[in-house]
Structure 1
Amino acid sequence: MKTKATLLIGTAVLALESCETKNYTEEDRITVTTNLENYVDSVESAVQMVPVHNWSLIDERYDSLDSRAEKVYNDLKVEDDNLEMIEERYETAVKNGKAQAENFERTADMHMNNVETWWDKTTADVEKGTKNTAEDIEDATQESLDWLEKNFDKLSDDTKKKYEEVTMKLQKD
């Protein structure tokens, strides 16, 4: 009787295991890996082109793709260092992107401060009766204005607003 029960339990376990089908295929694994690699490629490219990003959205999308890939890999019981390498690339891209963004913001602030300092100084002259003209702009200030204009689309909204205010006042004078 004991042997019969053991055989029945063994048969049931074997039947359950043989009925257990994988949800994913090797093609799914290749697809999720490719999707994750392509996303990291796009993040690496984006941080080189534009310094300001919404990192929470970028992280959210990466986490979604990574989670899907991990499900497929776990289901297929496949260990692949490729996912770890992709994650390292992603973390490096984010780290570099954030560092570039901080550097860009420091540079933008420096140029905006230069323009604002010049503007404050020359505005005092205007009150004394001296008119500001575009020809009166010092070389360093013109360099800052040129840099801000060139990088306008990449500037923070606050810096864009300040730049527009100064340039509008300069055009009026």
Structure 2
Amino acid sequence: MKTKAILTIGAAVVALYSCDTKNYTEADRVQVTKNLESYVDSVENAVKMVPVHNWSVIDERYDSLDSRAEKVYKDLDIEDDNLDMIEERYEVAIKNGKAEAENFERTADMHMKNVETWWDKTSAEIEKGAKNTADDIEDATQESMDWLEKNFDKLDDNSKKKYEDITLKLRKD
């Protein structure tokens, strides 16, 4: 009877211990941290190179990686400031990226308005018989045209269309 009780208690302890085992390993922790850090690195680089992004997609991917990392850390019962530092870097990158995007959009709008104003003024003259050529573009307008051409791939679709329409009409005339 004593042996049966010891075996029962032993089985209960083993069962309890097996339920308490970790689902993740140290290698998992290292990998999820590396994945999260690599993603933040890529976000930091991307926002420096291109001003326009789909922020919701970026946030969704970060949240997915962060959630996985937190799950692994929690399972391993580890507290690590590294995740907090990575999160801080991510938030700064997003803040800076959004500020750059807003600045880019303001600059693009300014240049587009400059070109549109010039076009509206000169296209009326064309109808009166004055021929308009690329040589007739004023310096400030040419600067705007150059900026728009240089940043064409980064413009929103509406600005691209406006720019293409004006340059096409300008070449025809």
Q: Which residue in 2 is equivalent to 1:68?
A: 68
1:38 aligns with 2:38: yes
Structure 1 runs of 4+ with >4 Å offset: 7-13
CA distance in 1, matches of 2:74, 2:172: 66
- The corresponding residue for 1:80 is 80
Query: Which residue identity lines up with residue 127 of structure 2 in the other structure?
Result: E
- Residue 147 of structure 1 aligns with which residue? 147
Distance (Å, rounded) in 2 between the aligned partners of 1:9 and 1:171: 91
Shift in Å, 1:100: 0.2
Q: Could you tell me which amino acid in structure 1 is paired with residue 23 of structure 2?
A: N
Letter paired with 1:155? L
CA–CA distance in structure 2, aligned partners of residues 41 and 146 of structure 1: 32
CA distance in 1: counterparts of 2:35 and 2:104, whole angstroms = 30
Q: Secondary structure at the match of 1:77?
A: coil
Deviation by residue 1:9-32 (Cα, 9 ceiling, x = unmatched): 986764343212111000000000
Percent identity between the two aligned chains: 75
Count of aligned pairs between the two proteins: 167
Note the residue ranges of structure 2 that are not aligned, 5 or more in a row: 1-5
SS at match of 1:51: coil
Measured against aligned partners, the alpha-carbon deviations of 1:32-67 in whole angstroms (never above 9, x if no partner) come to 000000000000000000000000100000000000
Distance 1:93 1:117 in 2: 36
Q: Which residue of 1 aligns with 2:3?
A: none
Give the superposed CA RMSD.
1.6
Q: Which residue identity lines up with residue 48 of structure 1 in the other structure?
A: K
Higher mean C-alpha displacement, 15-24 vs 150-159: 15-24
What residue number does 1:17 align with?
A: 16
Q: Deviations over 1:129-149 (max 9, x none)?
A: 111111110000000000000
Q: Is the partner of 1:121 in helix, strand or coil?
A: helix
1:99 counterpart letter in structure 2: A
Aligned to 1:4: none
Q: Does 1:127 align with 2:127?
A: yes
1:83-122 equivalences in 2 (<5 Å): 83-122=83-122
Q: Distance in 2 between matches of 1:13 and 1:159?
A: 70
The CA distance in 1 between the partners of 2:166 and 2:80, in whole Å, is: 56
Following superposition, the deviation at residue 115 of structure 1 comes to 0.2
Partner of 1:3: none
* Alpha carbons of structure 1 residues 130 and 34: separation in structure 2 relative to 1, 3 Å: same
Structure 1 position 109, deviation (Å): 0.3
After TM superposition, the score normalised by the length of structure 1 is 0.92
- Measure the CA separation in 2 of the matches of 1:12 and 1:58: 48
